[in-house]
Amino acid sequence: MFKSGPSYSKLKTNLRLAINRLKLLEKKKTELAQKARREIADYIQLNKFDRARIRVEHIVREDYLVEAMEILEMYCDLLLARFGLIQTQKEIDEGLEECIASIIWATPRLGDVAELRPVLEQLSLKYSKEYADTCRNNSNGKVNEKLIHKLDVHAPPKMLVERYLIEIAKTYNVDYEPDQSLLQYDEVLAAEGMLLDFGEQPNSRGTDVKDKAGLPVMNPQQPSYPAAPVVQGYSPPLPLPHAPPAGILYPNSQPSSGPPYPNGPANHAPPFTMPPAGKNLYTSIPCFDSL
C-alpha cells in the first residue's frame, strides 16, 4: 500500500476558508462582548456585584479567545504567503516551525473553526503524524506561549476581573467602589504610587503651573531657549558707514577731493570723473583721442 502525500490545493483552499471563518467569529464575539458590558453595568448599578463578576469572567474568556483567533488568523496568512516553501521543501522551514506547531496544537481546542481540521490533516501528511503528535502535546516547545495563555482553561485572576469592573463602571458612568484588597497587588496602581512628587517649585520655563498628570505647563510668553550670556566690558561693533567706492559717483553726489586710496599702493588708477557738460563721454577718455 502506497503512502499518500498531501494535497497542496486542498491545504491552500482550507487556509483561506479558515481565515474567513476566524474573521467572522472575531467580529461576532466582539459585538456580543460589547452588549454583555452593558448588562454588567446594569448589575453594578443594582448592586449585584457577585453576578457582575461572573459575567466579567465570561467576557475575559471571550476576549482571550478573540485574541487567540487573531494569532491563528495571522499564522494562516503567513502559511499562504510562504506556501512555496511548503511545496518545495521536504523538511519544515525554521521560519514556519512555530506557525505550524501552533496551528496543530490549537485546532483540537477550537471546535468552532471546522476549517482548521483539513489543514491539520494535510500538515500531518506533509510532516508525518509523529510530528503532529509532538505538536499536540507541545513536547518540542514550539507552540506560541501567548496562544497557550489565551486558550488556557483556568479562571482569570481576580485582580483582572476587578480591573474590568472598574473600566466598565467608568465607561457607563456607574458608581462602583473597587475592592482595595485586590488592587493593592495591581502593578499599574503600584507604579503610579511610586511617582516622585517634586512639589510646586517653578520649572525651567518660569512657571509653576502643572497639568492633571503633574507635568509642568509651558508659558507661551516665556521663551523656551536660554538667554544669551552677558559679557562685562563688551560692546557690539558699530555698523560701517555706507559710502560709495572711490571714483564711483552715485546720483546727487559730489566726487571726493582726497585720494581714493590714502593708505593703499601708489600705483593705482586715477579716480573717474564725469566729463563737463556738452562733451562726449568717449572723446574725453585718453584712449579714444587718437581714434
**No. of helices (H) and no. of strands (E), the chain:** 11, 0
Which residues does residue 210 pair with via DSSP β-bridges, in sequence order? 216
Contacts of 274 by beta carbon, 8 Å cutoff, 6+ apart? 249, 255
Residue 73, helix vs strand vs coil: helix
| pLDDT at residue number 207 | 47
Helix boundaries (H) for 138-250: 145-150, 158-171, 180-183, 187-193
Task: Say whether pLDDT at 203 is over 70.
Answer: no
Task: Give the H or E element holding residue 8.
Answer: helix 8-45
Residue 210, helix vs strand vs coil: strand
| pLDDT at residue number 140 | 87
The mean pLDDT of 66-85, rounded to a whole number, is 94
Task: Give the H or E element holding residue 221.
Answer: none
* Rg for the chain, CA atoms, rounded: 42
Per-residue pLDDT tens for 263-291?
554 454 555 555 565 555 555 555 444 54
* Sign of the CA dihedral with 61 first, then 38, 171, and 169 last: negative
Phi, psi of 98 (to 5 degrees): -65, -40
Task: Tell me how far apart the alpha carbons of residues 40 and 49 are, in angstroms, rounded to a whole number.
Answer: 9
Q: Across all residues in the chain, what is the average pLDDT?
A: 76
CB-CB contact of 78 with 99 (8 Å): yes
Task: Say whether pLDDT at 242 is over 80.
Answer: no
Cell of 190: 503600584
Task: Tell me how far apart the alpha carbons of residues 107 and 77 are, in angstroms, rounded to a whole number.
Answer: 16
Task: Say whether pLDDT at 258 is over 80.
Answer: no
DSSP character at residue 149: H
Residue 216, helix vs strand vs coil: strand
CA angle (149 as vertex; 139, 93 as ends), nearest 5: 45
Task: Say whether pLDDT at 186 is over 50.
Answer: yes
| pLDDT at residue number 154 | 87
What spatial distance separates the first Cα and last Cα of the chain, rounded to whole Å?
A: 120
Q: Tell which residue, 8, 77, 78, 66, has the closest CA to residue 34.
A: 66
- Between 74-88, 116-130, 210-224, 228-242, the lowest mean confidence (pLDDT) is in 210-224
The mean pLDDT of 243-247, rounded to a whole number, is 56
CB neighbours (10 Å) of residue 70? 14
Per-residue pLDDT tens for 165-180?
999 999 999 988 887 7
